[in-house]
Amino acid sequence: MLLLGALCAAGSAVAADRIGDPLAGKAWSDDNVCKECHNPDGNSTVAEYPRLGGQQAAYLYKQLRDFRDGRRRNVIMQALTQELGDAELANVSAHFAAQPAMKGAVLSANALGRSLFEQGDGARGIPACSACHGADGKGRVDGGLAYPAIGGQHRFYLRGQLQDWRSDTRRNSPDGVMNQIAKSLGDKDIEALADYLSGL
């Protein structure tokens, strides 16, 4: 697949899938505010706050550095990471990655969402999400790149991120890959994907 090849060639957004010390990260997180919004095990119950439980450690670590260094914008997360060093960010990433994996309550019967996730739509230039995010939607690390878990994430958050990629409000994916993909998605596609993915 063309996009995948280009991504692998560009490579190196993250160094490895072994990141941080989960025990140090738990101790640090117990003393910090993360749990107020994301829950102690990362499986937030509030739609606005993404689930972090079982998320790829390399992905969490990249996002936290992206917030801190201004590559991903969000008022709350930028403020909270300003003073933090790489070691703290790596440890807290390892901690949340080691928690029970995010999981939807009920599998959605949404046929459009399922077919876009599993097969994409070649005629409209939409690749299968599962090709990068894994057949189960739980993410993977491959070729130095971290593909996040999207299955079992909050529907509200998924919809918001897909809209943000499409409008270029969020721009921190390697080579803009998610911006390119989201530009081929209509509102109905985004709604269907958010519905289906949140149930996985």
Residue 53 makes contact with ligand HEC by CB under 6 A: no
Among residues 57, 145, 192, 200, which is the contact residue for ligand HEC, using CB under 6 A? 145
How far is it, in rounded angstroms, from Cα 6 to Cα 125? 16
Residue 63 makes contact with ligand HEC by CB under 6 A: yes
Among residues 22, 110, 147, 154, which is the contact residue for ligand HEC, using CB under 6 A? 147
Nearest to 195 by CA among 149, 147, 156: 156
Residue 36 makes contact with ligand HEC by CB under 6 A: yes
Residue 33 makes contact with ligand HEC by CB under 6 A: yes
Residue 39 makes contact with ligand HEC by CB under 6 A: no
Q: Which residue, 18 or 48, is less far from ligand HEC as judged by CB?
A: 48
How far is it, in rounded angstroms, from Cα 46 to Cα 27? 23
Which stretch in 15-23, 103-111, 127-135 sits in contact with ligand HEC by CB under 6 A?
127-135
CB under 8 Å to 19, separation ≥6 — which residues?
Answer: 57, 58, 61, 90, 93, 94, 97
| Under 8 Å between Cβ of 120 and 127 | yes
How far is it, in rounded angstroms, from Cα 145 to Cα 172? 13
CB under 8 Å to 78, separation ≥6 — which residues?
Answer: 67, 68, 70
> Residue numbers of the site for ligand HEC (CB under 6 A)?
3-4, 7, 32-34, 36-38, 48-50, 52, 60, 62-64, 74, 76-77, 80, 92, 116, 126-127, 129, 131-133, 145, 147-148, 150, 158, 160-162, 172-174, 177-178, 181, 193
